[in-house]
Amino acid sequence: MTNISLNFRIWRQRLQSSKGQFKDYSLKDISTDLSLLEALDKLNEELIKKGDRPINFDHDCREGICGSCGFLVNGQPHGPKDATTICQLYVRNFRDQSTLTLEPWKAKAFPIIQDLVVDRSSLDRLIMSGGYCSDDVGNAPDANLLKVSQKDAFSSFQTATCIGCGACIASCRNASASLFVAAKLAHLGQLPQGQLLRSKRTSQMKRQMVSENFGSCSNNLDCEAACPKEISANWISWMNHEDC
């Protein structure tokens, strides 16, 4: 087992209305087998012992599948490792004595709640605006009643892997939600069950994007690079074609 020391520069902000600032911390002799979130847990234990307020950050399953966690590590959503959520980022991915700057997602649609936690309910409202299948199909049909080609099934599954973490939005200079919305539309739009309300679903989710203060697509592909599930930005073109 190898142990290293890390320095942290972490954004601290008690309230959305209060002024925030970076504060410096350090952890010495920590195992490289720890995840970054576990390192923050350890740092919080030290802060609590000192009587200081612990650092607030989002997390849940810590298995890279729920999309709850997420913040910037040295300016990169989820950190420097490709196809990796913040909870899957380990201390061994950094050099001894490295300085890690941790700050929350930066987007008008993601107001800060406290420290590294932002309000991502705008993504929930996007889903509620049309990111679901509401067709009245009665009882569950037989599994093989609706034929879906292997190609379409696999393609739909690829877009369904979106976990709604918001990294694509945080990485975009315009804070666009285009990749997130495109993934949700393509997931349903490639399956038979999603055809009836396909056009309506697209227009409703696009309108909701505007009302939630998300920006327009900048075509820089930063969203694709930041996505921990490696969802292709080509789906944004697919989404735009849906409106034609």
Query: For residue 16, is it left (φ>0), alpha (ψ between -120 and 50) or beta?
Result: alpha
pLDDT of residue 132: 83
96: Cα within 13 Å, side-chain hemisphere: 7
Cβ contact 159:181 at 8 Å: no
pLDDT in tens, 42-75: 999 999 999 999 999 999 999 999 999 999 999 9
Tell me, yes or no, whether 19 lies in a domain: yes
What pTM was estimated for this model as a whole? Answer: 0.92
In whole angstroms, how large is the CA radius of gyration of the chain? 20
Tell me, yes or no, whether 233 lies in a domain: yes
Let me know whether 193 and 84 are in one domain. Answer: no
Let me know whether 96 and 125 are in one domain. Answer: no
Query: For residue 204, is it left (φ>0), alpha (ψ between -120 and 50) or beta?
Result: alpha
Tell me the one-letter amino acid at 231.
I
Let me know whether 83 and 131 are in one domain. Answer: no
- Looking up residue 218, the CATH number of its domain turns out to be 1.10.1060.10
CB-based contacts of 5, cutoff 8 Å, min separation 6: 26, 27, 28, 29, 30, 96, 97
Cα torsion angle, 72, 171, 221, 179, sign: positive
- Tally of domains within the chain: 2
Let me know whether 139 and 231 are in one domain. Answer: yes
Beta strands in 58-214 (DSSP E): 72-73, 76-77, 98-103, 112-114, 117-118
Tell me, yes or no, whether 114 lies in a domain: no
| Residue 91: closest CA among 6, 164, 174 | 6
Cβ contact 7:99 at 8 Å: yes
Let me know whether 175 and 209 are in one domain. Answer: yes
- Looking up residue 63, the CATH number of its domain turns out to be 3.10.20.30
Tell me, yes or no, whether 111 lies in a domain: no
Tell me the one-letter amino acid at 150.
Q
Going residue by residue through the chain, which has 244 residues, state the pLDDT in tens, using 9 for 90 and above: 699 999 999 999 999 999 999 999 999 999 999 999 999 999 999 999 999 999 999 999 999 999 999 999 999 999 999 999 999 999 999 999 999 999 999 999 999 999 999 999 999 999 999 888 776 656 766 767 778 899 999 999 999 999 999 999 999 999 999 999 999 999 999 988 888 889 999 999 999 999 999 999 988 999 999 999 999 999 999 999 986 5
Element spanning 10, H or E? strand 3-12
Domain coverage including residue 42: 3-103
